[in-house]
């Protein structure tokens, strides 16, 4: 009560922020007369003066914001016949300040972006504008380029249909670049696999505006971008696990200490499978193993877990579709097909086994990054969307982004009616059809929102029976998306749409439809996220238009059944609701919203948890990529690094063969064999007589330095440095790929540490740090071995970089089609040694820790 009184007197924090911006709007408006009296050339000249002040450092962007916004507004009037409203100026300032502008549908976010884009492009460092699909990227770039070009800026677009690095580089070199989140992220990963700086396409990450920021930074946050390559792992386990999963009986969840019956229990809230003791025993019998959870059977246990998830948590035409005998993911937030994307950790293979289609190879990660960590690399990040306040806490905690709700230019007239709740789905379906018939009879357009393809087809079939003409928009016919959505506001239109609902495409209505009450939005069930429901509502009532929205629910809907059904059911029972009747109550609507808050909280914790793990890998990624960029720099002293590595290698090798602390007892025979094998260099025992341990290490380092210099003496210095750089990069890339594979394995099994009363995250940090130390040493020592052992002719020297790039491209393009080749160690006795057996060289180490890990696994020298 006291808090409400304070808000009434002083306003909310958001109100106070908006009030500050309005003061600056008045200053911008005062400049309008000045600039509208200038000719085109005079206006351009004024803008050029401000740009020069930025480039010279005389002024910063905030100093000239008022004038630049006034000039952009005037340019919009002249080139597009569009004048920025006052609230759009506020949106532009919010974006420039590195915040999220929440602006309702139809408020002109595309035009708003031009204000901060122009202001921040003046530094010449580039501005990126990110959209959710190619259509919007191309459309927005084409529409707004009139403003940008008038002011002397170049505009580029990154599209998934562009296959050429040249096209991408040209787009990134422009002052302003539009594109999708996927393309920006993948270009970053690909850039960090290139062998020279000039081949990179992206510039620095200066300023980015993310359109539909909630979709990209929240909904997509759990989906990392992955560039993958093939593995040689067998797929038989998935077929076996699928057969076992089909024979296991599902039990009902019960509260402890009561033990559940059946072989497994489905945890729908956390989307997980819990196998009972009886289930473990049954699985062990069916698999023919003694201990399903032993280290030897860890992969089998994981495959069974994924098979049970595939059968019990993933529905065809809800979570995925079958097309041309392939399992294709349906994005749970947009309803679109995610072509080319696969579920990770073997889940996709489990679904393929379930559907009895060809199981595609598991892939190995070559490079990966989450959107969270990609966009946090920018010097300044901003976003815009119609729905962000429900996730304001997450934006603040994860991205340090404040959300500012911008007032609409014209007050919203849409009526958001309370939910109608029925006991069963069939009752709800009938009620929805009756409501559609009523609206359709008077010509009022209706947009029906469904949560899945399956539901959209249920309503489609019911409308066909009623002979009501309609359009269906779901993942199976998404190609017509923009066209169907544009026509959804016409008289008599009935449109059934999944969550995709054409974000970014306005549904416009005419005066006749306004007189009928505007567009009628019918939601057929609540989404787990209030934000998605708000997006559906927001399709109606744009720019002061009338409209209606209402959700029809049933106690059998997943959200109510899992998270809030008992409480709502008891309310309905107390009120004596009969078959076919509904309840309309603010109490019930609030109970539904509380259920949604529970789910949102669970998802937030899940995303935060994933980010905590990814932050560990991200620090390692940044370290490796930073070092890789240093290697690409022609001024980097690669020779000094090689000398340092030779010294460390020498010390490490000597320590392996010195049998006592004094250094008087050395296994010289095995030491000589190792140096000859790994460095193609002969050493003599006499050279090490009467030397201390440190002196022997220095002596070996000196011998190897001389040997290396002699080997490379026939090459010109510039040529040699280029060879060293490329070979070093190859070793680094191969070691990094192997490290990512080890990290994947670590992450898959780390959760089991919790059963041993250990914090899995702490254990993950500890283990991943040790793996990273191994990676660093492997890069150092494998690069030395490769540089000593490589043999090439003059032609190979000249084509080395081209060959390296060709191999890289081949690896990327054929990532799923081809199998990885085995290590070729070059010596017959080493080929036959088991990986855990002692190494034949006599070092006392396991083969996998000694000669079994030598040399690159891929690349032109494999």
Listed by start position, the domains of the chain span 2-226+373-405, 234-360, 415-600, 634-853
Q: What percent of the chain has pLDDT over 90?
A: 49
Question: pTM here?
Answer: 0.79
Phi/psi of residue 727, nearest 5 degrees = -65, -40
**Neighbouring residues of 572: CB distance < 8 A, sequence distance ≥ 6:** 421, 423, 555, 583
- Find the mean pLDDT for residues 276-289: 91
Closest by CA to 454, choosing from 314, 307, 603, 306, is 314
* Tokens, residue 428: 């709800």
How far, CA to CA in Å, does 679 sit from each of 693, 722, 784?
Answer: 21, 20, 8
The residue count of the chain comes to 862
Long-range CB contact pairs, 598-606, < 8 A, 24+:
598/563, 598/564, 599/528, 599/529, 599/559, 599/563, 600/390, 600/391, 600/528, 600/529, 600/530, 602/269, 602/270, 603/528, 603/529, 604/391, 604/393, 604/394, 606/222
| φ/ψ of residue 760, rounded to 5 | -55, -35
Q: Cite the annotated binding site by residue number.
A: 88, 106-110, 506
**Whose structure tokens read 């992955």?**
226
Beta strands in 642-796 (DSSP E): none
If one counts every other C-beta atom within 10 angstroms of the C-beta of residue 371, the result is 23
Burial of 779 (0-12, 13-18, 19+ CB in 10 A): buried
Q: Fill in the DSSP letter of residue 360.
A: P
pLDDT at 66 over 50: yes
> What angle do the packed helices 586-632 and 565-574 form, to 10 degrees?
170
Distances in whole angstroms, Cα of residue 378 to Cα of each of 23, 123, 205, 712? 29, 15, 5, 42
pLDDT score of 2: 44
764 contacts: CB under 8 Å, gap ≥ 6: 613, 616, 746, 747, 750
Q: What pLDDT is recorded for position 819?
A: 25
**Whether the Cβ atoms of residue 288 and residue 263 lie closer than 8 Å to each other:** no
C-alpha to C-alpha distance for 186 and 179, rounded to whole angstroms: 12
CATH topology of domain 2-226+373-405: Rossmann fold (3.40.50)
Greater confidence (768 vs 793) lies with 768
pLDDT at position 1, please?
Answer: 44
Res 802: pLDDT: 61
In the numeric block, the tokens 């609507």 are attached to: 589
Tokens for 511? 């005066």
Which CATH number among 3.40.50.720, 1.20.1050.10, 1.10.287.40, 1.10.3060.10 corresponds to the domain 634-853? 1.10.3060.10
**Mean pLDDT over residues 338-350, rounded?**
82
Same CATH topology for 2-226+373-405 and 415-600: the answer is yes
Q: How confident is the model at residue 502 (pLDDT cuts 50, 70, 90)?
A: low
* CATH no. for 234-360: 3.90.1440.10
The pLDDT confidence band at residue 573, using thresholds 50, 70 and 90, is confident
b/e 567-590 (16+ beta carbons within 10 angstroms → b): ebbebbeeeebeeeebbebeebbe
Dump pLDDT digits (tens) for 748-759.
Answer: 777 767 666 788
Question: Tokens at residue 291, please?
Answer: 């201990």
Give the number of other CB atoms < 10 A from CB of residue 147: 23
> Which residues does the annotation place in the binding site for ATP?
88, 106-110, 506
Among 2.60.40.1080, 3.10.20.30, 3.90.1640.10, 3.40.50.300, name the CATH number for the domain at 415-600.
3.40.50.300
């Amino acid at each position: 009560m006291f808090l409400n009184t304070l808000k009434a007197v002083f306003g909310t924090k958001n109100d106070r922020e908006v009030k500050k911006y309005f003061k600056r709007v008045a200053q911008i408006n005062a400049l309008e007369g000045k600039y509208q009296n200038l000719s085109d050339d005079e206006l351009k000249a004024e803008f050029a003066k401000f740009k020069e002040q930025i480039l010279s450092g005389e002024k910063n962007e905030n100093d000239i914001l008022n004038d630049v916004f006034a000039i952009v507004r005037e340019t919009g009037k002249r080139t597009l016949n569009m004048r920025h409203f006052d609230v759009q100026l506020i949106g532009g300032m919010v974006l420039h300040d590195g915040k999220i502008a929440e602006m309702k549908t139809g408020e002109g976010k595309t035009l708003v972006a031009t204000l901060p884009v122009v202001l921040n492009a003046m530094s010449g460092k580039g501005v990126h504008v990110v959209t959710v699909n190619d259509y919007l990227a191309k459309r927005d770039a084409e529409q707004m380029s009139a403003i940008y070009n008038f002011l002397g800026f170049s505009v580029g677009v990154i599209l998934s249909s562009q296959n050429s690095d040249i096209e991408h580089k040209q787009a990134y070199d422009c002052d302003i670049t539009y594109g999708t989140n996927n393309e920006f992220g993948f270009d970053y990963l690909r850039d960090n696999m290139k062998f020279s700086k000039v081949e990179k396409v992206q510039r620095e990450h200066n300023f980015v505006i993310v359109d539909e920021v909630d979709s990209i930074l929240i909904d997509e946050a759990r989906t990392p971008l992955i560039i993958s390559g093939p593995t040689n792992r067998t797929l038989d386990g998935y077929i076996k696990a699928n057969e076992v999963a089909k024979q296991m009986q599902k039990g009902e969840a019960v509260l402890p200490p009561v033990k559940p019956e059946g072989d497994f229990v489905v945890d729908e809230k956390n989307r997980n499978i819990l196998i009972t003791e009886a289930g473990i025993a049954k699985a062990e019998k069916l698999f023919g193993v003694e201990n399903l959870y032993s280290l030897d059977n860890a992969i089998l246990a994981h495959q069974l877990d994924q098979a049970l998830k595939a059968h019990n948590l993933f529905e065809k035409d809800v979570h995925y579709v079958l097309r041309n005998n392939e399992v294709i993911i349906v994005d749970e937030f947009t309803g679109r097909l995610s072509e080319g994307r696969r579920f990770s950790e073997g889940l996709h293979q489990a679904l393929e086994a379930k559907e009895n289609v060809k199981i595609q190879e598991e892939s190995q990660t070559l490079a990966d990054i989450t959107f969270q960590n990609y966009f946090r690399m920018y010097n300044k990040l901003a976003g815009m969307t119609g729905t962000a306040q429900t996730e304001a806490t997450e934006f603040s905690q994860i991205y340090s982004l404040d959300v500012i709700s911008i007032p609409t230019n014209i007050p919203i007239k849409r009526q958001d009616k309370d939910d109608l709740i029925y006991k069963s789905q069939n009752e709800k379906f009938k009620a929805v059809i009756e409501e559609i018939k009523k609206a359709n009879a008077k010509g009022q357009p209706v947009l029906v929102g469904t949560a899945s393809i399956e539901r959209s087809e249920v309503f489609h079939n019911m409308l066909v029976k009623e002979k009501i003409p309609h359009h269906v928009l779901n993942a199976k016919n998404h190609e017509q998306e923009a066209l169907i959505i544009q026509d959804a506001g016409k008289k008599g239109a009935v449109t059934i749409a999944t969550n995709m609902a054409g974000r970014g495409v306005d549904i416009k209505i005419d005066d006749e439809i306004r007189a009928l009450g505007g567009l009628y939005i019918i939601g057929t069930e609540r989404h787990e996220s209030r934000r998605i429901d708000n997006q559906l509502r927001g399709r109606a009532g744009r720019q002061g238009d009338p409209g209606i929205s209402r959700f029809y629910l049933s106690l059998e809907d997943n959200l109510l059944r899992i998270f809030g059904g008992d409480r709502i059911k008891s309310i309905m029972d107390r009120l004596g609701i009969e078959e076919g009747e509904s309840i309309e109550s603010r109490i019930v609507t609030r109970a539904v919203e509380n259920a949604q808050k529970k789910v949102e909280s669970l998802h937030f914790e899940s995303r935060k948890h994933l980010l905590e793990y990814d932050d560990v890998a991200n620090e390692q990624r940044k370290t490796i990529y930073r070092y890789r960029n240093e290697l690409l720099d022609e001024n980097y002293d690669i020779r000094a690094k090689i000398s340092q590595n030779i010294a460390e290698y020498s010390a490490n090798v000597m320590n392996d063969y010195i049998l006592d602390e004094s250094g008087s007892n050395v296994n010289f025979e095995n030491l000589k064999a190792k140096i000859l094998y790994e460095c193609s260099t002969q050493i003599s025992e006499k050279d090490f007589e009467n030397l201390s341990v440190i002196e022997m290490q220095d002596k070996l380092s000196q011998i190897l330095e001389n040997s290396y210099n002699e080997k490379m003496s026939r090459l010109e210095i510039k040529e040699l440095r280029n060879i060293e750089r490329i070979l070093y990069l190859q070793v680094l890339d191969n070691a990094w790929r192997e490290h990512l594979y080890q990290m994947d394995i670590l992450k898959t099994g780390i959760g089991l540490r919790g059963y041993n009363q250990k914090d899995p995250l702490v254990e993950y940090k500890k283990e991943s740090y040790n793996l990273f130390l191994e990676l660093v040493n492997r890069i150092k020592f494998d690069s030395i071995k490769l540089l000593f052992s490589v043999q090439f002719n003059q032609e190979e020297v000249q084509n080395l970089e081209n060959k390296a790039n060709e191999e890289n491209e081949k690896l990327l393009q054929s990532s799923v089609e081809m199998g990885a080749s085995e290590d070729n160690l070059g010596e017959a006795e080493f080929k036959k040694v088991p990986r855990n057996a002692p190494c034949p060289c006599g070092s006392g180490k396991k083969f996998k820790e000694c000669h079994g890990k030598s040399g690159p696994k891929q690349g032109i020298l494999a």
